[in-house]
Amino acid sequence: MKDPDRLAELGDDWCDLSEGSDLTEECDRDHAALSRELRIEVHPDHPFFGAALEVIAHRWSNDDVLCRHLDTPARYSILHLTWSKREEIGSCPTIDADGEWPHIVAYEDGVDAALNEAEALEQDGRRAPMGPAGTASRPITVEAVHAWPEHSAVPHGSCGRG
């Protein structure tokens, strides 16, 4: 990512992997393993099979990775890895957001709004709180953003998310 401050627009749930970023002591992830796992999981029927993707960040709270498309530098995608360590099938790894930077920010704003709403419902007793592992009592749903024209019909799937 050419502008490291840009990642700050997504909030503090992302660890920056872009060139020149400072690795932080809080991050215990093997950053090289993220790119390897993405290459393993994207199968011949996946919309991004053969695409040149650079993992530029990962989410602290789950297995999402933020990628930049090297052949189309204005394009970014958020994918959810399964860590199966094998080629996936169907719609896995899921593409949660795909578009230009404003689309990625809009998706993240939706994630933040859903989490804030869930927290408010928990505080007033209308929703069971998250468990010790961070697993929600009921799924929190956020609408995927697919703004890139050739992939407007990217299949949605859960890939066994908890």
On whether residue 144 sits in a domain, the answer given is no
| Spans in the chain with pLDDT lower than 70 | 1-4, 18-26, 130-143, 148-162
Are the C-beta atoms of 64 and 82 separated by less than 8 Å? no
CA 155 to chain centroid: 16
**pLDDT score, position 153:** 43
Q: What was the pLDDT predicted at 39? A: 93
Helices marked H in the chain: 31-41, 101-123
**In total, how many domains does the chain have?**
1
pTM for the whole structure: 0.77
Segments in 42-125 forming alpha helices (H): 101-123
Is 136 contained in some domain?
Answer: no
- Report pLDDT for 149: 63
The pLDDT, as a whole number, for residue 102 is: 94
Encoded tokens for 160: 């066994």
The number of residues making up the chain comes to: 162
Quote the domain boundaries for residue 86: 4-101
Q: Is residue 49 part of a domain?
A: yes
Structure tokens at 49: 């099979």
Token couple for 67 = 């990628």
